[in-house]
Structure 1
Amino acid sequence: MVSPPHAAQPRRNLLPFAGIVMILLALFNGWDAMAALIDSPVVTGTDRYVFGDLHGLGWALLVLAIAQGLAGITLLTGDLPSRWFPAVVLCANAFTQFVFLPSFPAWSLTIIAIDLAALYVVLSAPEERNRE
């Protein structure tokens, strides 16, 4: 009986990659949050916001950046049962980037694509069960 070629090779665990990506996303969101909080000319080009103001958006991004950093650390530790927290944080970041879409379309679409790639890795990671 011939087994499929992919059955002989164990699936690589890409959770450390997703953890590093989440930490990088946390840094990017942290920089965006700081720029919004100090009224940087980079983000004050558009003065229309659907809800809140620039400082409110900056604080929300800062909280999201801290959550992303913590989620990235949990992925680097390899704790598979807690991978739902990183999945929720990645979805929240993807939706948050839609706020920036009118101002920075290329940047927002890039971050959304990175979020979706990391989300795929987090949700499709194989579960390691102890077989005793």
Structure 2
Amino acid sequence: MTTADVRRDERDGDPGGWRTGWTVFAGVMLIFNGAMAILQGAAAIGKDDVFVSTRNYVYKFDLTGWGWLHLSLGIVVVLAGCALFTGALWARIVGVVLAGFSMIANFLWLPHYPFWSVIIIAIDAFVIWALCTGGVRHGRGYAR
């Protein structure tokens, strides 16, 4: 895309760079989120003493099982974050779905690591927002 094309898109009311920036933001945040989930999963699988569990929490699960879930979800989320850089519509849809799954997993992970879970839930919400508001590239310009 040349400078003239960008100027024409901006004249037509299409801030293409802004939308592309949000997709890049979402991709970077998904890669970061997935990497952190991989580390959470590895810590939960390797050493159960790292995490403190709340006694009377409604959703009681085995910590090692949660470790494997976070590890596998983290790998898939990193791959989805990398796929976002292709600009494909399917990658955006997969990114939204996986960010939603990550939100649910971290909500259920709250008794083990509450502060970090809330941060990851907020990052996932920003990722979903960024992927849902950005434009999809079709040739020159963006679909409206």
Q: Could you state the TM-score of these two structures normalised by the residue count of structure 2? A: 0.77
> Where does residue 3 of structure 1 map in the other structure?
none
Correspondence 1:102 to 2:117? no
Correspondence 1:10 to 2:32? no
> Where does residue 33 of structure 1 map in the other structure?
41
> Where does residue 71 of structure 1 map in the other structure?
80
Percent identity over paired residues:
31
3-state SS in 1 of match to 2:76: helix
> Hey, what's the Cα distance between the residues in 1 that align with 2:136 and 2:115?
35
Shift of 1:9: 6.1
> Hey, what's the Cα distance between the residues in 2 that align with 1:81 and 1:54?
33
> Hey, what's the Cα distance between the residues in 2 that align with 1:9 and 1:52?
48
Query: RMSD value over aligned CA atoms?
Result: 2.2
> What residue identity is the alignment partner of 1:18?
A
Shift of 1:51: 4.5
Structure 1 gap ranges (5+): 1-5
Number of equivalenced pairs: 126
Correspondence 1:46 to 2:53? yes
Shift of 1:124: 1.1
> Hey, what's the Cα distance between the residues in 2 that align with 1:113 and 1:7?
33
Q: Could you state the TM-score of these two structures normalised by the residue count of structure 1? A: 0.83
Structure 2 gap ranges (5+): 1-10
> Where does residue 126 of structure 2 map in the other structure?
117
8 A contact 2:41–2:70 mirrored in 1: yes
> Hey, what's the Cα distance between the residues in 2 that align with 1:9 and 1:128?
11
Give the number of the structure whose residues are more often helix, by fraction: 2
